[in-house]
Structure 1
Amino acid sequence: MPSLWHTLPTLLLLPTAISAVTFDCNHVRIDKQSFDLSALGGPKTVHHLQYLQPSISNTTFTLDICSPLKRTKDVPKSDECSSGTRVCGIERIYNEADNSSTIERVISVAGEYATRNGRSMDPEVTRLKGSASHADSDQEGLRVELHGGKWPETRDGSLQKAIIEFRCDKDLTGNEGFEEEDKVLDVNSYGQMARRASDDEDDDGPSLPDLDKGKSLQFNSYKPDTDDIGVLRLTWKTKFACEGVANDPKGDGKKNKSPNSHWGIFTWFIIILFLLVATYIIFGSWLNYNRYGARGWDLLPHGDAIRDVPYVAKEWVGGCIDRVKGGGGGGERGGYSAV
């Protein structure tokens, strides 16, 4: 029974923990400005190509700002990021020498891992106009910093984070370039890239295709910072980063909302009600255990009343049915009849 008592602080801290690790893409509030990014929900990918003579490296970064990324069917767990990941990077190496393609790294950049290893996403949001940076002072939009990732997943692994800069562009929704699913490059495609890069290695730099041409979301860089934390930087141009769009009834920021990405008033009511009931049961059970040495059903406060609930419900339903049947005959009268 003491173990139940020990769980009480954890239950009471549940709402705080939820709000601390969750990024609500439907309602981002900063400096008295509201932004609705729900229309950008769903997995989006960008690429980082490098020529590592004689190989080609393609790191595909996939992110979903509204909910954790889902597992891909028939793909081994070792070839995908951990459950709860919001931003994932998968590096694939093509080796022209043996015409092979292998996955070199799987990097969980950001996500919610509190139940697995205690690391949470801890989102940090900055309004560009309110930024201390002089370069951002005349920009409209917001910067979102997401944490929680680590690579490799060992004690000595480096922490990871993603910095996504949402910039206002009234002509773009932010979903441009993602109308069709990204095609997985085959070995022949890598081979052609490697040969072209080899031919251009005496020029200013190897010529590699732009796999993200036309996309509103663009890769900027991925490298360690001064604290040896791996930092992924992305730029996302969208009208939903413009101030006032979230309050505009004509703006379609409410479309394509993720059903699991927001916490409404009703959800919080259910959570608070659950916590109150759990607190009452745990405290009452602890009291009965310590004061009366109760066991089993007797531990629960008002255990007799709880056991009687099915019978009370049955009698109540039976009474309702009898009243309905009794009211069906319009000619019948209650009381005694005359002889």
Structure 2
Amino acid sequence: MGNIAIAFATSTISFSEFVEVKRQKQLENKRVRSLIPTYIARLNRSDETITTINLNGLGVDTNILRLLTAPINRGQTCVTELYLEHNWFGSEGAAVVARVLSHNIHLKIVSLAHNHIGSIGAMAIANALEQNTVLQRLNLGYCEIDDDGVKKLATSLKKNHSLKYLNLEGNFVSSEGVRSLLNCVYDTSGGIQSLFDSNHSLISYHNGQRTIYNPNFPETTVSNRQLVFQLASVLASCNFRYSQPRWTTTPTSSSSSSLVKKSNDQTSRRVAACKILQYCLKEHRNDYWKCIEKLEEKIVPHIVGWLVRYGGVEVMYIVLRDMPWLLEKNQEDVNQNPFLESCDETSDGTVVMENVLA
């Protein structure tokens, strides 16, 4: 007691003030902890006014998660944001959240950062993403996820078309894991078809300038940084640039304009087309015909169509000048493929090459 008295004698607050501050903190913690049963009670009453649940750092464990998500699973709520950072659940708790994501139609933001879910928990979340169609932001930062979990996430994200931001910073990701992420958004293993089947909705794998890999891996300075640079390049040059909403003007009776957003399918095809062009042309961006001549004959008109659509009048002039033989092709002889449907569309008054040749 004497030592404590001496310590407070040299400090800026008295012992009584210290006790009062500690009491106030205890009351505040008790008040904040009461949020959990309050949320659960309101959700069980189907309170649709609750759109955001923030339980960061409140000691939420798997049992509390089950109570919290039960009414959400029953479809009785309209919760769009769920924050569960710095809590006490692991892979079992991640599986509980995964069940919500599997069929929920409201949740757009979920953050599980700083929970020990590991790769098993990440795999459960990944399986849910294959069925989810609405989630836009998912934070799995500092969740002790290794390459196995990242690979499963990358595989599942090829079947997801809504998620835009996936935060994986601070996990145990090596160059092998980063490579799987790159293949997720820019898969060249199967040529044009695998490129088309890649993920075209993701915009970022991390927040700000923080790394998505673990700097403790010995190959970080060589392999990882180069792979992350390539990944960032694809996300910036294709996914982000061409997935931005494209609006068309529709006149109304009052002579005003309303903006109409293009469908997700059209956006995905537009991003896919740009990736295919990037892959086929590579560094020969000014020598279109040299690259095109090496492609299969049935694919050529479609590639040209994309070039014209996204390259403008200048590209159209170059194509017609240097490849006049294309004018002699009969559109009816071209075998349509599932991944070439976007070539039949027009955008902002630009006519696709197939229609020009018809």
Query: Into which bin does the TM-score normalised by the smaller protein fall?
Result: under 0.3
Q: Which structure shows the bigger proportion of residues in helix conformation?
A: 2
TM-score between the two structures when normalised by the length of structure 2: 0.18
TM-score between the two structures when normalised by the length of structure 1: 0.19
The structure with higher relative contact order (CA 8 Å, sep 6+) is 1
Q: Which structure shows the bigger proportion of residues in strand conformation?
A: 1
Q: Which structure has the larger Rg?
A: 1
